[in-house]
A and B are shown apart, each in its own frame.
Chain A
Amino acid sequence: MTEPARLTREDVAHVAALARLHLSDEELDLYTGQLAQVLDHAADVASLDLAGVVPTAHAMAVTNVMRLDEPRPCLDRDEVLGQAPSVEDHRFRVPRILGEAP
């Protein structure tokens, strides 16, 4: 397997945006160096020829875990909403998610 290109500062800025994290210029420099170091260490894995090896996502995989479709008690609504930062009319309240209203 060919080794992937080395991690750049732009890559880190991109994944930070995807992960909804804001980084200062200093943090960008710091994390770029540290993450590149970890990925360099992972080169032993990335460079192995493992064609045909089946990936394992779960070591003890269980499948088709179902329960009967019967009503049963669930978490108390007020107790759950009581932990939210902002609530209105029994719903989670968030800042606007679209552009300015017309």
Chain B
Amino acid sequence: MTAPRPVQETAAMIRAGEESAVEVLEHHLAVIDAGEESIHAFNLVMGDSARDRARAIDAQVAAGEDPGPLAGIPVALKDNLCTRGVPTTCSSRILEGWRPPYDATVVTRLADAGAVIIGKTNMDEFAMGSSTETSAFGTTCNPHDLTRVPGGSSGGSAAAVAAGFAPLALGSDTGGSIRQPAALCGVVGMKPTYGTVSRYGLVAFASSLDQIGPFATSVADAALLFDVIGGHDPLDSTSLNRPTPRVLSVLDEGVDGMTVGVLTEFLDGADPDVVARVNQAAEALAAAGARIEEISVPEVALGLSAYYLIAPGEASSNLARYDGVRYGVRVDAEDTVAMNTATRTAGFGAEVKRRIMLGTYVLSAGYMDAYYNQALRVRTKIIEGFATAYARCDVLLGPTAPTTAFAIGAKVDDPLTMYLSDVCTIPTNLAGHPAISIPFGPGDDGLPIGVQLLGPALSEGTLFQVAAVVEAAAPALRVPRITTGAPS
């Protein structure tokens, strides 16, 4: 299997008129046609609008205009990113049929860069889950093994890129929802510093943790997409009004003289084959000139508990808006409170109800200080713990997930066990930091393993720089092959 052609190369060929956006799109639509029935990465494939858009890109090129750095590149969007006039469901019954009256800022930026939106991807309902099994529209299957989960919550986006349905995708990461599915599907996934990518038009789950980020088959492709979507946005009041790191330009700078800390807490609960891959990645970084040291940040062990108090608390507030009044589904009843209750009871799935109730409980009088406020204090301790580590290390290295992809159905009835699959990704969100997952060979079961690089706020440049070195040393992964019937 040869690696997919770099996105930058494809875009350059389209911009030069050497290949058409329509041809590139039709190739991907054919792959979707062949593989989507078994994988179910999409809630919606936007074939018609994508064809219109691809033709418009080709017309721009023919007229001598430059459509932008993603000219004619198909991009899949997680179905919690608002697309004007196009259904955006968050994989929830309660938003079935809703057509947002505006585009998310990232969607506008993709359009300005010449990208072609190819579809909306499946996800855990309202991004609450680690396997895409809480989707109201059925689970997504891992392209490497259809009996396994793709991870979650952005499982559809990860699977779409892994299966070759689209070279790029966007997801959102609240506690690992980009990085964990990227690891389980064998693709690159990156969670940016909080505030570097606008959340305008991202349907809110936990507003202090949510960030949009890229999926790609290579570090360079992810870097290109991050450069397009990042930057200040006045429409998001939490958007950082300062220069966003540019990452594509620093990819070749290497790791000579850097210090990489191997985070021991993340190795503790991980499977032996996962630990072996992390150590192998550390050796590759050492060979490239980095200094490797083991480092302990004991505070991160508290991350999971703190997260499952903070995120549900924020979610219980954010999801109060689904009341059957302004958008989405309504179940009629004799008065408004009964209508609200009937709508929410019918519209939300079990995991969403669980988190709303948990969040309502930890924010309620008598419990708020013991749970929610206490978790916010732990958040401070985690930030301090990372600061101590980053005083010594440029980046930290660990696994992205403690295991490879687990079987569909294995954890869905046991919420706490499911939550534990986010143990290595959650601390980053609590700290507002960036992190990236890079595929690093198969595990003992032949399924993808991802290694994770973590850095302090706004260290995206360094992270991508190190990620490129890790990627260059990564053992080959068997790539899922979707047969389109056409010779390739």
A residues near B, CB below 8 A?
1-4, 7, 11-12, 15-16, 18-23, 31, 34-35, 37-39, 41-46, 48, 50, 53-60, 62, 65, 67, 75-76, 79-80, 82-86, 92, 94-97
Which residues of B317-369 have CB atoms within 8 Å of chain A's CB atoms?
A: 320, 323-330, 332-342, 344-345, 348, 353-354, 356-358, 360-361, 364, 366-367
Query: Cβ of B341 and Cβ of A45 under 8 Å apart?
Result: no
Q: Do A65 and B237 contact each other (CB < 8 Å), given the known contacts A55-B376, A95-B335?
A: yes
Q: Do A44 and B381 contact each other (CB < 8 Å), given the known contacts A4-B371, A60-B195, A83-B98?
A: no
Q: A6 to chain B: closest CB distance in Å?
A: 12
**Partner of A12 from B240, B357, B383, B433 at Cβ < 8 Å:** B357
Contact pattern, B 234-260, Cβ under 8 Å of A = 1, otherwise 0: 100111110000000000000000000
Q: Do A59 and B379 contact each other (CB < 8 Å), given the known contacts A45-B302, A46-B374, A92-B326?
A: yes
Query: Cβ of B240 and Cβ of A56 under 8 Å apart?
Result: no
With the chains together, A3 CA to B376 CA distance in Å?
Answer: 16
Query: Cβ of A19 and Cβ of B333 under 8 Å apart?
Result: no
Q: Do A7 and B361 contact each other (CB < 8 Å), given the known contacts A19-B356, A42-B308?
A: yes
Contacts of B360 in A (CB 8 A): 15, 18-19
Contacts of B309 in A (CB 8 A): 42, 45
- Most chain A beta-carbon neighbours within 10 Å: one of B323, B377, B379, B383: B377
Q: B337 to chain A: closest CB distance in Å?
A: 7
**Partner of A62 from B241, B324, B336 at Cβ < 8 Å:** B241
Query: Cβ of A21 and Cβ of B325 under 8 Å apart?
Result: no
Q: Do A31 and B193 contact each other (CB < 8 Å), given the known contacts A38-B308, A60-B432, A60-B457?
A: no
Q: A101 to chain B: closest CB distance in Å?
A: 13
Query: Cβ of B336 and Cβ of A34 under 8 Å apart?
Result: no
Query: Cβ of B377 and Cβ of A54 under 8 Å apart?
Result: yes
Contacts of A21 in B (CB 8 A): 341, 344-345, 348, 353, 356-357
Closest to A67 in B: B234
With the chains together, A96 CA to B234 CA distance in Å?
Answer: 38
Chain A contact surface mostly = loop
Query: Cβ of A15 and Cβ of B308 under 8 Å apart?
Result: no
B residues near A, CB below 8 A?
98-102, 193-195, 208, 234, 237-241, 302, 304-306, 308-309, 316, 320, 323-330, 332-342, 344-345, 348, 353-354, 356-358, 360-361, 364, 366-367, 370-371, 373-381, 383, 415-416, 419, 430-433, 457
Q: Do A11 and B361 contact each other (CB < 8 Å), given the known contacts A38-B415, A95-B333?
A: yes
Contacts of B433 in A (CB 8 A): 59
Chain B contact surface mostly = helix
**Partner of B208 from A1, A7, A59 at Cβ < 8 Å:** A59
Query: Cβ of A59 and Cβ of B356 under 8 Å apart?
Result: no
Q: Do A95 and B364 contact each other (CB < 8 Å), given the known contacts A45-B309, A48-B378, A60-B193?
A: no
With the chains together, A59 CA to B9 CA distance in Å?
Answer: 37
Closest to B384 in A: A53
Contacts of A37 in B (CB 8 A): 415-416
Q: Do A62 and B339 contact each other (CB < 8 Å), given the known contacts A15-B357, A85-B324?
A: no
Give me 6 other A-B pairs in contact (C-beta within 8 A), A83-B101, A94-B325 excluded.
Answer: A20-B341, A21-B357, A45-B306, A54-B377, A57-B208, A85-B328
Query: Cβ of B371 and Cβ of A50 under 8 Å apart?
Result: no
**Partner of B345 from A22, A65, A94, A95 at Cβ < 8 Å:** A22
Contacts of A62 in B (CB 8 A): 195, 237-241
Contacts of A48 in B (CB 8 A): 302, 374, 377-378
Closest to A94 in B: B336
Query: Cβ of B380 and Cβ of A22 under 8 Å apart?
Result: no
Query: Cβ of B344 and Cβ of A54 under 8 Å apart?
Result: no
Q: Do A50 and B381 contact each other (CB < 8 Å), given the known contacts A85-B328, A95-B336, A96-B336?
A: yes
Contacts of B380 in A (CB 8 A): 53-56
Contacts of A67 in B (CB 8 A): 234
Closest to B99 in A: A83
Closest to B375 in A: A45
Query: Cβ of B330 and Cβ of A38 under 8 Å apart?
Result: no
Closest to A52 in B: B377
Closest to A75 in B: B101
